[in-house]
A and B are shown apart, each in its own frame.
Chain A
């Protein structure tokens, strides 16, 4: 399904992703110790329905061969794709033969509606719809991740977790390298001067593919920054 080297672009039907209410609640700050009240709960429901009318989920993905990995340096074959992250290079990409570079988005319409609500003083509804948008774009990335995993599994390969520029020791400025590797019509997703993506509800990153099951492990297992809010264990 996902071929080598050729970039893949695809738009999904809104209902092909499953926006989970419990995840939306988590973005809104509800944790183990609390559930939304009846009023908030029905607002979340109505904003989820609203989101299905607004989102335009799509993804872009290109497969590259891993050429060379040193500490702080992952070079991919073709184009000049070199990424710098010590942790991901050492723990993951040194054992990968391929890398999938991806970008997912839900398009601009949801966040335009959020701004409209906020400007009109409807902060509560706006904040809820914004959280629904976070969950939606997260689910597009999960969808793509699952599809890459499936393709890899067909040839007996394993895949790593997703890694994004801006997380861990990977500088957000390398969004520029990532975007040049994707190279093509990205359905209007653009990088600002400061390397943020517009539309905002977008996620970019890289997934490693290889024949060593240790690449599936989280590098956080070997990291002693135990207070990191993004720790994945």
Chain B
């Protein structure tokens, strides 16, 4: 297998959502063939740089997944399978990243706000951000403003992603932003909001930096705001 073939196959396996050789994938006859895990290991062995593996294998693959999701060819589970495969590959690459001098694209703290227990949407957002090469700190759900302020102060993240599904809890997003402002931290972090209750209008009203409708949108927002 040439290096190009190795990367091409890795990309293909990300698109198919195959973590390792035991996964079926979307097409027949894939079972037993190397998956994202084996192909990432092979690429490292072959001396391909982690930067190339991420950019041309993983990210390129996830971009195709994003396009397919947008075109309604892929659905949430397909996207999760691909994101999991990417996550696994990133885990294998991690020890090699520091050595090669590759740093993460940025740090993101995500949380579901106080009073809200919905976390599936937030979990999807954090998985996709990880897959896109960001360092993600997931605080969980029912997280009060004080705790978020504390973590922002300590971790100094580039982004903060807040999720709320209830009209009663989305108010907490505004309160969290106010608490950041009072603590003098508002300018240090870009705040993104999302979840069923939230809209672009609401995001503007509370002074958030962005509003995302789904996980891929969250990644696009982060990429745009990073520039």
Among A29, A195, A198, the residue within 8 A (CB) of B75 is: A29
Interface stretch (choices A36-44, A79-87, A92-100, A102-110): A36-44
- B221 within 8 A of partner (CB): no
Q: Please name the residue on chain A nearest to B121 by beta carbon.
A: A127
- A5 within 8 A of partner (CB): no
Q: Please name the residue on chain B nearest to A42 by beta carbon.
A: B24
- B151 within 8 A of partner (CB): no
For B73, what are the chain A residues with a Cβ–Cβ distance below 8 Å?
34
Known: A127-B120, A172-B166. A28 touches B75 (CB 8 A): yes
Instruction: Give CA–CA (A172, B171) in the complex, Å.
Output: 14
For A33, what are the chain B residues with a Cβ–Cβ distance below 8 Å?
72
- B137 within 8 A of partner (CB): no
Whether A121 pairs with B23 at a CB distance below 8 angstroms is: no
- A6 within 8 A of partner (CB): no
Q: Please name the residue on chain A nearest to B142 by beta carbon.
A: A192
Whether B81 pairs with A124 at a CB distance below 8 angstroms is: yes
CB distance from B122 to the nearest CB of A (A): 10
Whether B87 pairs with A40 at a CB distance below 8 angstroms is: no
- B77 within 8 A of partner (CB): yes
Among B24, B123, B167, the residue within 8 A (CB) of A39 is: B24
For A190, what are the chain B residues with a Cβ–Cβ distance below 8 Å?
none
Chain A positions 184-233 with a Cβ under 8 Å from a chain B Cβ: 192-196, 198, 200, 229
- A63 within 8 A of partner (CB): no
For A229, what are the chain B residues with a Cβ–Cβ distance below 8 Å?
196
Whether B117 pairs with A196 at a CB distance below 8 angstroms is: yes
For A121, what are the chain B residues with a Cβ–Cβ distance below 8 Å?
84, 87
Known: A38-B24, A196-B116. A127 touches B81 (CB 8 A): no
- B83 within 8 A of partner (CB): yes
Q: List the interface of chain B (C-beta within 8 A of A).
A: 17, 23-26, 72-73, 75-78, 80-81, 83-84, 87, 114-117, 119-120, 123-124, 127, 142, 166-169, 196
3 closest residue pairs by CB, A with B: A194-B115, A124-B80, A29-B76
